[in-house]
Structures are given as C-alpha cells and as structure tokens.
C-alpha cells in the first residue's frame, strides 16, 4: 500500500492581480519521484515556495504526512522533513565545501547564544552531529573527498550537487529539486540522475522541477504539468508525452 506524503488541496496564491498558482491539487506517494513541468512563469518555483513556507497560500491547504503545514515557518517545515534546492546556485564560494553544507544546518541548531559562547558539552555534541550529517550528505553526492576545497573551485556540476548535499544534511523525507540539471553537460546530467536514483532507493521522496525532458521522463514515476498556474495534466511519463494539451502548451515548443 502506498502512502501519501504530500498533498496539495486546491492551493492558490495571488500576487496582486496575478494568480501565480491556481487551484492546484496534487498527491505525492511516499518513495516516488514526481516531476512538475511547464513553461517559464507557469508557477513551478512558486509551488516549491508554498510547500516550504516562504509564501502562505491565498486559498487551499498543504498537508505533509497528514498534517497541515501551510502557515508554518520555513525552519519548522525543514524540521518536519522537507528540504529543497533553489533554481539559482546559492553557495558561498569563498567557504569550503563542508562549511557550505554545515551552514544549512546551523540555522536549525538549538544552541542559544550563551551555549554557543561557552561551548558547553551539549553544544559540542551538536557540532559533532552537524559535521557527521554533513559528511554523510557529501558522501551521498560523491563529494566527500572535496570537503576541504573552496566551493568556487568545484566544476559547475559538482556545485549543483553540493547544493543537494546541503539539503540532504537536514535528513529530509521529502526533497524538492528546482531545475537541478540546468546548465549541466550530458555527462553531469547522467551522474546526477544516478545519484537521484540512489537517494530514492534510500526511501526519500523526490519532487523535481526540470526542463530537460529526457531527464524528467527517465526519472519520474509520475509527472504533473502546470500552465499559467493551473495543473493541465498529470500521469505517467508515457501518458504525458502523448497528451495533446501538454504538447500544445509545452512539449510542442521543444520540437519547434
Ligand atoms: P516558474 O518557476 O514556473 O518559471 P514562478 O513560480 O517563478 O514560475 O513564477 C510564476 C509567476 O509568478 C510569474 O509570473 C512570476 O513573475 C510570478 N511571481 C513569483 N513570485 C512572485 C512574487 N513574489 N511577487 C510577484 N510575482 C511573483
Ligand atoms: Mg522556476
């Protein structure tokens, strides 16, 4: 029996006169890879911003493992088990690879100012846990051997994998990836694909926004298609590829 991990129930958000996400329903089953595709400006990143608490929906409800999460703060949602990467690279180039991962976790430590200052045993234990989780995440992304290098010295494909490692360090159950393969060469895409499969095999659920159709079609269990904020189709990769509305709104443009 498959279990729903994330549910969007009639979710909308308006920015002034623009309805960026319009009455979207979605159910993602635990352990699967779901893709969200559609033209630029369709509302894909906005859906990620809604799920992670950056925006609150104007209407509708978002449920994670059965509980409503819309209205919660981003760090609370991270703690519940949702992590993400961003469409544009967000790394600190002058910091080491390891520190770039650790910084993603420091914002969620329980150590108060005084504890941090005095370096109490509890704080030291927490520091150790952060380093361990970070190294483990780097290992998953096959970057452990680069832990001490500066982020800016990594090739582009590895910088993007570093961002995924940062997201994984919080030990999420659901991982949102916003255009992870953008700008990658075919070799880098191939490597990333096998790593995403590996993460899925560990039991994580993946929600993927991506324009590369080969990438999307070979990784996804199911695909949802967004156009002008509305979900115009959902189904298996084969169903989506032959859906006339999808071809008209999105896939057709690729062929042209
Ligand atoms: P996609 O990721 O599918 O390319 P986005 O989700 O980034 O699209 O954007 C969807 C629409 O919502 C766009 O028209 C965008 O300009 C608009 N939008 C997104 N965020 C905001 C915001 N904070 N304020 C106003 N408009 C926004
Ligand atoms: Mg986007």
Nearest-CA residue for ligand 1 atom 23 is: 15
pLDDT interval class at 104 (50, 70, 90): confident
Distance CA 75, CA 53 (A): 8
Closest CA to 8 of 54, 55, 69: 69
Task: Please determine, for residue 241, whether its predicted confidence score (pLDDT) is greater than 60.
Answer: yes
Task: Please determine, for residue 111, whether its predicted confidence score (pLDDT) is greater than 80.
Answer: no
pLDDT at 173: 98
pLDDT at 204: 98
Distance CA 193, CA 189 (A): 6
pLDDT at 126: 85
Taking residues 20-27, what's their average pLDDT?
98
Say if CB 161 and CB 139 are below 8 A apart.
no
Distance CA 23, CA 41 (A): 16
Ligand 2 mean position, distance from CA 40 (Å): 7
Domains in the chain, ordered, with CATH? 1-81+172-256 (3.40.50.300), 97-170 (no CATH)
Nearest-CA residue for ligand 1 atom 17 is: 20
Nearest-CA residue for ligand 1 atom 14 is: 41
pLDDT at 47: 98
Task: Please determine, for residue 207, whether its predicted confidence score (pLDDT) is greater than 60.
Answer: yes
Task: Please determine, for residue 107, whether its predicted confidence score (pLDDT) is greater than 80.
Answer: no
Which of 40, 43, 45, 84 to mutate to test ligand 1, by most ligand atoms within 8 A of the CB atom?
43
Q: Is 174 in the pocket of ligand 1 (CB under 6 A)?
A: no
pLDDT at 1: 64
Distance CA 189, CA 84 (A): 18
Say if CB 177 and CB 84 are below 8 A apart.
yes
Mean pLDDT for the chain overall: 93
Say if CB 22 and CB 50 are below 8 A apart.
no
pLDDT at 256: 38
**pTM over 0.85, yes/no:** yes
Ligand 1 mean position, distance from CA 70 (Å): 18
Which of 13, 14, 15 to mutate to test ligand 1, by most ligand atoms within 8 A of the CB atom?
15
Distance CA 61, CA 219 (A): 28
Full 3-state SS string of the chain: CCCEEEEEEEEEEEECCEEEEEEEEEEEECCCEEEEECCCCCCHHHHHHHHCCCCCCCEEEEEECCEECCCCCHHHHHHHCEEECCCCCCCCCCCEHHHHHHHHHHCCCCCCHHHHHHCCHHHHHHHHHHHHHHHHHHHHCCCHHHCCCEHHHCCHHHHHHHHHHHHHCCCCCEEEEECCCCCCCHHHHHHHHHHHHHHHHCCCEEEEECCCHHHHHHHCCEEEEEECCEEEEEECHHHHHCCHHHHHHHHHHHHC
Place of tokens 């990620």: 48
Closest CA to 182 of 53, 87, 51: 87
Which residues place a Cβ less than 5 A from the ion ligand 2? 44-45, 87
Taking residues 146-168, what's their average pLDDT?
97
Closest CA to 41 of 191, 167, 211: 211
Nearest-CA residue for ligand 1 atom 26 is: 15
Q: Is 84 in the pocket of ligand 1 (CB under 6 A)?
A: no
Which of 18, 37, 86, 179 to mutate to test ligand 1, by most ligand atoms within 8 A of the CB atom?
18
Task: Please determine, for residue 106, whether its predicted confidence score (pLDDT) is greater than 80.
Answer: no
29-85, pLDDT tens digit by residue?
A: 999 999 999 999 999 999 999 999 999 999 999 999 999 999 999 999 999 999 999
Q: Output the CA–CA distances (angstroms, integers) from residue 104 to 54, 108, 155, 204, in the order listed.
A: 16, 8, 21, 19
């Amino acid at each position: 029996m498959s279990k729903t991990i994330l549910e969007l129930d009639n979710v909308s958000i308006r920015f002034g006169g623009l309805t960026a996400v319009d009455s979207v329903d979605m159910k993602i089953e635990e352990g699967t890879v779901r893709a969200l595709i559609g033209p630029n400006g369709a509302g894909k990143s906005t859906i990620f911003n809604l799920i992670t608490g950056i925006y609150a929906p104007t209407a509708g409800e978002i449920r994670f493992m059965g509980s409503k999460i819309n209205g919660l703060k981003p760090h609370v949602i991270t703690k519940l088990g949702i992590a993400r990467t961003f469409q544009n690279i967000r790394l600190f180039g002058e910091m080491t690879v390891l520190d770039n991962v650790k910084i993603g976790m420091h914002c969620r430590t329980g150590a108060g100012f005084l504890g941090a200052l005095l370096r109490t045993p509890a704080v030291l234990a927490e520091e150790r846990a952060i380093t361990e989780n970070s190294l483990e995440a780097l290992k998953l992304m096959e970057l452990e051997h680069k832990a001490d290098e500066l982020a800016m010295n990594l090739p582009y494909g590895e910088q993007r994998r570093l961002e995924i490692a940062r997201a994984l360090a919080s030990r999420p159950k659901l991982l949102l990836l916003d255009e992870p393969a953008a700008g990658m060469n075919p070799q880098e895409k191939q490597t990333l694909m096998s790593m995403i499969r590996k993460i899925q095999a560990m039991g994580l659920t993946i929600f993927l926004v991506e324009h590369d159709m080969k990438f999307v079609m070979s990784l996804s269990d199911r695909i949802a298609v967004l156009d002008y904020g509305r979900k115009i189709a959902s189904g298996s990769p084969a169903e989506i590829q032959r859906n006339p509305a999808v071809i008209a709104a999105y896939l057709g443009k690729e062929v042209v």
